[in-house]
Amino acid sequence: MNYQLKLWSMILLLSIGLLASCSDDDNDTEPTLTASELLQTTWNACVCDYDADGKEVVNEEYLIVEFLTETQGKSINGEGSGDPSAVWDLYYCIDGRIITFKNSALVGNWTVIEKSKNRIVLQSYRPEKSVATLTKLH
């Protein structure tokens, strides 16, 4: 009888331990980014600028972004932009959740909001809210 009580006590403790380890806090990790993840990849980018309330899109811009090295790349106005084809040098640096772009339509500091293998969502305030959704091509 004593053996069964100990066994049930152990099962109960293990169950409580497993439940505690499955808390919501484990899912709250912030997405980060590294330059090596972007190295030699090409992405479609849709940049949406919002109104002062942050609710309605007032401008959309389409780009193709090539990350050629860990600090440099190319920005090309994408299909549907309505502009003549143009290519700009792109300079960037990454620090955890923040990617800073220079010389591009993405200029400024952007926070990584979501990240998967083929999709990255960035957010910035320039001064109004802007969201850039990058979809991997290659």
* Residue 116, pLDDT score: 96
* Parent domain of 74: 35-136
Percent of the chain with pLDDT over 90: 65
Q: Is the dihedral of CA 6, 12, 16, 22 positive or negative?
A: positive
Q: Residue 137 pLDDT more than 70?
A: yes
Domain CATH code at residue 96: 2.40.128.280
Q: Residue 110 pLDDT more than 80?
A: yes
- The answer to whether residue 84 sits within a structural domain is yes
pTM score, whole prediction: 0.76
Q: How many domains does the chain have?
A: 1
